[in-house]
Amino acid sequence: MARPDPSARPDLYARVTQQIIADLERGVRPWTRPWSAEHLAGKISRPLRHSGEPYSGVNVLLLWSEALARGYSAPVWMTFRQALELGAHVRKGESGSSVVYANRIVRTEAGEGGQDVERQIPFLKAYSVFNVEQIEGLPERFHAPQAPVLDHVQRIARAEAFFAATGAEVRHGGDAAYYVMGTDHVQVPPFECFEDPHGYYATLAHECTHWTRHPARLDRDFGRKRWGDVGYAREELVAELGAAFLCADLGIALKPREDHAAYLASWLEVLNGDKRFIFTAASHAQRACDYLHALQAPG
């Protein structure tokens, strides 16, 4: 079996980044519409593998972007071979969508003293998946209409309980939302000031992602010195992605915030200058989500 060629990694990083940049240049944030139509998986969902396991990290962004561009309403994806194993087949002429797999290879090399030294080399590999709407002959469960779900009030109650369980101090007041590192608190306008409950909880998701960057938690620091600098733009992109992931997990509709429109240019500058940062941002966002989920009571 041929070993992965680490030298090929930059091309793949650049290709994935360029896909996200193309969306942003059109004024589209692919993470702001992570919902399907009437599907068994639910109206709002992360992209799912054929097993029902949700994708994570940058693959969430890639498949949300593909679903938006191609008009897919189902959130389920699988490989050509997985479709065959289910007795189905990809329709002729359909093209797949790329997702990526990160891993490390271990090489043994001679050290300075002549002894063998193991070196880990990270690599990135792409493979294609197909949306279930591109596949014929799948079992009915992959196309079933949405089953009865929690009603609107219960779903919002779930979000309320989620953020309360994090232990983050949330203060209400004013007309702006932000996280203050010095006092370690999240500030949001009163609930009644939002157009709808989803907007309130989506804002909490964004600010609570910022909350995880505190040194006592994930200690995330991009060297931000002032409002609007590169470090600030990087942290805002992490919080934006973290909010999108959390909202998908909680069944909350995430719409673009008007006060974040000014970030588009700075995100484009960051991504054009660093072809790997979308991977870094997605990884930090996933870590923040995992941290907040881990604070929930078991059961």
Residue 165 to residues 124, 240, 266: CA-CA distances in angstroms?
A: 36, 21, 33
CA distance linking residue 64 with residue 48, whole number of Å: 11
| pLDDT range class, residue 299, cuts 50, 70, 90 | low
User: Among 268, 142, 259, 279, which Cα is nearest to 206's?
Assistant: 259
Long-range contacts for 176-182 (Cβ within 8 Å, ≥24 apart)?
Answer: 176/259, 177/203, 177/206, 177/207, 178/207, 178/210, 179/207, 179/210, 179/211, 181/213, 181/214
CA distance linking residue 17 with residue 15, whole number of Å: 5
Instruction: Quick: pLDDT tens for 97-117.
Output: 999 988 778 887 777 776 777
Instruction: Quick: pLDDT tens for 20-63.
Output: 888 888 877 877 754 444 555 556 678 999 999 999 999 999 99
User: Among 112, 100, 111, 6, which Cα is nearest to 61's?
Assistant: 100
Residue whose token pair is 């498949």: 63
Tokens coding 14: 């650049």
Looking from the CA of 291 toward its CB, the CA atoms found within 13 Å total 22
Residue 100 dihedral angles phi and psi, to the nearest 5°: -120, 155
Domain boundaries, the chain: 1-147, 150-299
pTM: 0.81
Query: Is there a contact between 38 and 296 (Cβ–Cβ < 8 Å)?
Result: no
Q: Is the dihedral of CA 281, 76, 20, 265 positive or negative?
A: negative
- For residue 106, the SS3 value is strand
Eight-state DSSP code of residue 146 = P
Query: Is there a contact between 121 and 176 (Cβ–Cβ < 8 Å)?
Result: no
Instruction: Quick: pLDDT tens for 154-191.
Output: 568 899 999 999 999 999 988 889 999 999 999 999 88
User: Among 133, 142, 137, which Cα is nearest to 71's?
Assistant: 133
Tokens coding 293: 């989920």
| pLDDT range class, residue 255, cuts 50, 70, 90 | confident
